Amino acid sequence: MAKALHTLQSMFVLTLVFVMLAGLKQGFVEGQSWRLPLEEVNALREIAKELGKKDWNFSVNPCDKNDPNISNWNTPKTAARPLYNNSVICNCSYLGEICHIESIFLRGQDLDGKPPPSLAKLRYIKQIDCTRNYLSGTIPPEWASTKLEYISFTVNRLSGPIPDYLGNISTLRYLSLEHNMFNGNVPAGLGKLKNLQNLIILANHLTGRLPHELNNLINLQELRLSSNNFTGQLPNFQSWKQLEKLEIQASGFEGPIPSSISSLSNLTELLISNLNGGASKFPQLGNMSKLKSLMLRSCNISGEIPEFLSQLSKLQKLDLSFNNLAGDIHSDLSGLQSLEILYLTNNSLTGKIPPWIKDRDSKDLIDLSYNNFFLETQACRDSLNLFRSYGNNLNHGNCLKPCSEDRYSLHINCGGKEVTTGDRTYEEDEASVGPAKYNFQNGLWGTSNTGFFYGVNTTSNDDLATNVSILRMNDSKLYMTARLSPVTLTYYGRCLANGNYTVTLHFAEIIFRDNRSYQSLGRRMFDVYVQDELKRKDYDIEHEAKGVDKAVKLKIKAVVKDKTLQIRFVYAGKGTTAIPTRRTYGPLISAISIESDNPPKDSSPNRKRKIIIAVVVVALGLWLLLTSFCIAWRKGYLGSQISREEALKGLDLHTGIFTFRQIKAATDDFAPANKLGEGGFGSVYKGVLLDGTIIAVKQLSSKSNQGSREFVNEIGMISGLRHPNLVKLHGCCTERKQLLLVYEFMENNSLALALFGPEKSRLDLDWATRQKICIGIARGLVYLHEESILKIVHRDIKANNVLLDKDLNPKISDFGLAKLDEEENTHISTRVAGTIGYMAPEYALWGYLTDKADVYSFGVVALEIVAGKNNMKHRPNENYVCLLDWALNVQEKGNLLDLVDPRLGSDYNKEQATRMIKVALLCTNSSPALRPTMSSVLSMLKGDVRIQKLNVDPDMHGDDHLKFQGLREKYCQEKDRSSRSYSETFGDTSGDITYGSSSTSAHDLYTVNLQSQ
């Protein structure tokens, strides 16, 4: 018996040894003190594979803190790698010395996998932090079953819509998806996260309106929505009374700031900027006694600075820049002992600068630049920026000396040492410009800088960027350093001779990288102004240079009138703010070159000798040249011998008047290669000015009465109109019996070509882009009908006359048929002109014209945008005569979404699509009185107001069908008699009604006939 017992004991020991060895083979799951369950070890293996993490040591127990080899699981933090964190944290307080994984921190590791579905196998996991990696994909649906409390994917490349099933993680308290590539609407499911305290979704591509379900997040303490493309008004803040930090910068929202913001009495940080919409009053913030940082930048706020600001005793940073604040500064903020930074930049403040500002501690940073204060002598101090504080006057106090002589050039190596390249010497610019500083340099040029980087401590080198890689471009010494600004940076040159100048701005993206790293995910965008005129909007260095560490030069023409030239770079809140760190966003400029287009003549002895030699040569050949000169002059050859550079020299886009010689030079003498298309009354050419500006030149026939009439009409109409959704007319030329119109060039041609042009020319327009285009057209028409000084009826709204710029922003063109809508007249009776298929019936049949005719045309275009089909070409079967006819039938059957372009598949916003179709059908009502105004149309499209109910009478629909059939038959009959592609003249036997398209129509920009079928 004893022997048997001994044998059993021996077998038990051997079995135990084999089990332990097996455990070692699979990975060390049992420590001497703590044991991690095998299923969690296996889950960690799967997680590592899914993330692309290759340095976890599975022979070490991650929960054994005493193991000297545990650094693969818990790496000590070092000052050299402040953004790096590699930690797997266990909770070993469970019974039986069992441990469970509760937190995983993998920060700054450039992991290039995907968010791991296997994380859901860690049943006790509470925190996952993958900040600053290169992860792609989206958050797995498996996570919906977890009890996670903390999720952070800050700075990655996750994409697609934010998953709605995140709302099922009821335990979630912290969610950060900032600086990714998420798109679409914010899901309503997030409103179920009633324990959520931090929601950070800034710097994505999110669109639409915020769902009302977010009002359920009553425990929110931090909300950040910046740098997205939301639409509609700012949200109602009434439900978020626990908020402590609120950030909404450049998010696409419209103002004004709602009065409900006054209920957020717990706020310590309020940052709102770049609101769309009209002017608004200063919001009531008097009860925010805990507020430390207040930014209301570029919010269209008007009126005076409110006195309640003096009661916010904890205020440290106050930024009210880029608003319309006016009047004297009556608010005395001298009692705010904690106030360190005060920005009142770019307002319309007047009167004297208050003593409490002038006497403020020199450590405090105050910026009053770009205002209209009363001119008085001030001390020149670094921490008080008074650049252009007295209007456009730079020479205040004794800071700047009078000019002793005129200069004709200026070269600056921004942020770097003096550099010589070729025959140019770029002056050094190494001095720190500071967060609020007017730098005078040597009095001949200087800088004005405004702004600090939120969320980090200010250092003396914040405004300097230094390249750390090898640069292989020409003049690489100019790009080793750059000047950086978090808000706005101005360079000015003084004592310049008045006249035309060429400004060359040197850029290179030397901060972002192009490897498989989070450092390659940055997006930098800023605006460029020269002489206070916006020259480039949302300028992206990496995009323009086609990569990082590559040079790109931007040449801009400028006019100096008061011996001063100013170049300004402005950060408008767009792009990323945390890549690679939180102090590297904003404008970045490497070097600046300013040169006169007409420098003084050289008076040196060398020049005199050259003149003598030239005279001798001319005298010897004069008898040959004289005869040739006469012949060339009579035949007009001399003008063509002038170089393109000479012909374009001194030309800018301010005058509005071009010479024929300048246009010939820009178009390379109307070269066939530059011909963009041909219409009924002339051709369209592409032209390039010396500064690289691309123009479109419409050459109209001076022999056509209609062409001449529309030439005059178009200049008269569009020259006084300025709106982002109207094509810009640069100028015209009438020399040598020429009728030439010069427009801004539209890189993506027309909406018609993008939607239903030839297959190779069509653009893949996603739904968000179509929505943006439709709303943009509506905005342009609202401006024409209601907002501009001249109330205008366009008369020819169609997809051909909507042009698309490089960012696919729509611009209405072709004002050759436009008519003034005089307020005292209810309508205009006029000769009919337009395009069949887009004309309102009351106008086409009786010549009765109001702005409702444009509303009808817009409705047709909106249907085309949804369906991706041409109204006059689309016939599903013989029972339908056009797209609108089919839409009315589909609406009657209740299947509106059948109209949506099949190319979109299911990837579109059904609510927005339904809304757009309903609005389009309202606009195309047979009765003009029942059509909405364009401002109502815009509000309905944006979802700001409910759509009027659609009532379709079957009898009325039948009449519409007959109307469509009649117009189709008439169109087909007349088309057979016409050989022209773009301009068709249709008339009845009496000749009373003429249907024509403008000679300057946008469809002239390409040669494909979209109206021919």
> Which residues sit in the known binding site for ATP?
698
Nearest C-alpha neighbor of 742 from the set 758, 731, 726:
731
The residues that bridge with 276 in the sheet, in sequence order, are: 254
CA distance 340 to 385: 14
CA distance 483 to 430: 9
Residue 796 appears among annotated catalytic residues? yes
SS (H, E, C) 512-581: CCCCCCHHHCCCECEEEEECCEEEEEEECHHHHHCCCCCEEEEEEEEEECCCCEEEEEECCCCECCCCCC
The residues that bridge with 184 in the sheet, in sequence order, are: 206
The two tokens of residue 986 are 């249709």
CA distance 505 to 483: 12
CA distance 793 to 811: 16
> Do residues 234 and 257 make contact, with C-beta atoms less than 8 angstroms apart?
yes
CA distance 589 to 540: 12
Residue partners of 67: CB distance under 8 A and separation at least 6 = 31, 60, 61
607 membership: H or E segment, kind and range: helix 605-635
* Residues annotated within a binding site: 698
Strands of 533-539's sheet in order across: 436-439, 445-450, 488-493, 565-570, 526-530, 533-539
CA distance 785 to 838: 18
CA distance 630 to 372: 60
SS (H, E, C) 339-408: CCEEECCCCEECCCCCHHHHCCCCCCEEECCCCECCCCCCCCCCCEECCCCECCECCCCCCCCCCCCCEC
CA distance 214 to 685: 52
The CA radius of gyration of the chain, in Å to the nearest whole number, is: 34
> Do residues 34 and 2 make contact, with C-beta atoms less than 8 angstroms apart?
no
The two tokens of residue 408 are 């004709």
CA distance 362 to 341: 11
CA distance 402 to 909: 62
In order of 882, 922, 958, the CA distances from 888 in angstroms are 10, 11, 10
> Do residues 768 and 183 make contact, with C-beta atoms less than 8 angstroms apart?
yes
> Do residues 182 and 204 make contact, with C-beta atoms less than 8 angstroms apart?
yes
The two tokens of residue 852 are 């409702």
Determine phi and psi for 172, rounding to 5 degrees. -65, 130
CA distance 814 to 835: 12
Among 64, 367, 796, 851, the one annotated catalytic? 796
Is the dihedral angle over the CA atoms 55, 61, 62, 65 positive or is it negative? negative
Question: Does residue 256 have a cis bond before it (omega within 30 degrees)?
Answer: yes
HSE of 202 in the Cβ direction (CA atoms, 13 Å)? 24
> Do residues 433 and 589 make contact, with C-beta atoms less than 8 angstroms apart?
no
Nearest C-alpha neighbor of 61 from the set 95, 24, 111, 14:
24
Neighbours of 39 (CB within 10 A): 12
Catalytic site positions: 796
